[in-house]
Amino acid sequence: MIRPFSLSDLDAILKIEQESFPKSPYDRMTFIELHSFCPETFLVYTETSADQRNQVWGYIIFIPEGRIISIAVLPSQRRKGIGKELLQKAMEIPDLKRLQVEVRRSNLGAQVFYSHLGFEKIGISKNYYGNEDAIIMQWIPIS
Ligand SMILES: CC(C)(COP(=O)(O)OP(=O)(O)OC[C@H]1O[C@@H](n2cnc3c(N)ncnc32)[C@H](O)[C@@H]1OP(=O)(O)O)[C@@H](O)C(=O)NCCC(=O)NCCS
């Protein structure tokens, strides 16, 4: 199930973040700020486990004007379609003109993921991550 983030998800989100972006994870305060900035477009993917616990497997944060801020899925739950389901929520924004995301040049897995969903590489942002370039990828809805 995909639903809006709530503050009780924070510990689970921080675990996903640290395992997904070990070089530069967002911290607790950044997620709290992003939640107040994007209350309706900070979404989590959850599943109810056999013992009925609510597990958070992934998240996406996007700006409705058409920019992905971040997306990540817990490593143990990848390649099951969760990332795709989360990204499709952003792709379904009404009247969207374009959707853009920056990806580390070294993050080939994410580049293939976005390409698989119809994104194209449109440019490079030099040293966007300090010592590493970002590849700018874009998806344009078929009108
Ligand atoms: C990128 C990420 C969110 C994808 O999540 P996911 O749930 O594994 O993705 P999905 O299962 O929905 O993948 C859909 C398709 O994308 C492609 N894909 C996804 N991850 C891939 C990888 N690492 N390598 C190659 N192709 C990949 C595949 O074609 C996949 O379909 P398939 O499994 O049927 O072959 C996840 O790998 C992740 O959290 N990465 C670390 C954080 C990150 O890099 N985020 C993006 C920052 S811009």
Residue-wise pLDDT tens digits, 88-112: 999 999 999 999 999 999 999 999 9
Domain span at residue 107? 97-143
DSSP-assigned states of every residue in 28-43: HHHHHHHHHHSTTSEE
Q: Is the CB of 86 under 6 A from ligand 1?
A: no
H or E element in which residue 18 lies: helix 10-20
Q: How far apart are CA 115 and CA 122, in angstroms?
A: 12
Same domain, 14 and 78: yes
Looking at the structure, tell me whether residues 50 and 5 fall in a common domain: yes
Q: Which CATH number goes with the domain that contains 74?
A: 3.40.630.30
Summarize pLDDT for 13-56 with one digit per residue, the tens: 999 999 999 989 999 999 999 999 999 999 999 998 777 778 99
Both 9 and 72 in a single domain? yes
Shared domain check, 67 and 109: no
Residues 58, 115: one domain?
Answer: no
Q: Are residues 72 and 103 in the same domain?
A: no
Q: Is the CB of 80 under 6 A from ligand 1?
A: yes
Give tens-digit pLDDT for 120-132: 999 999 999 999 9
Average pLDDT over residues 70-94: 97
Do 48 and 117 lie in a common domain? Answer: no
Give, for ligand 1, the residue of 16, 56, 78 to mutate: max count of ligand atoms closer than 8 Å to Cβ. 78
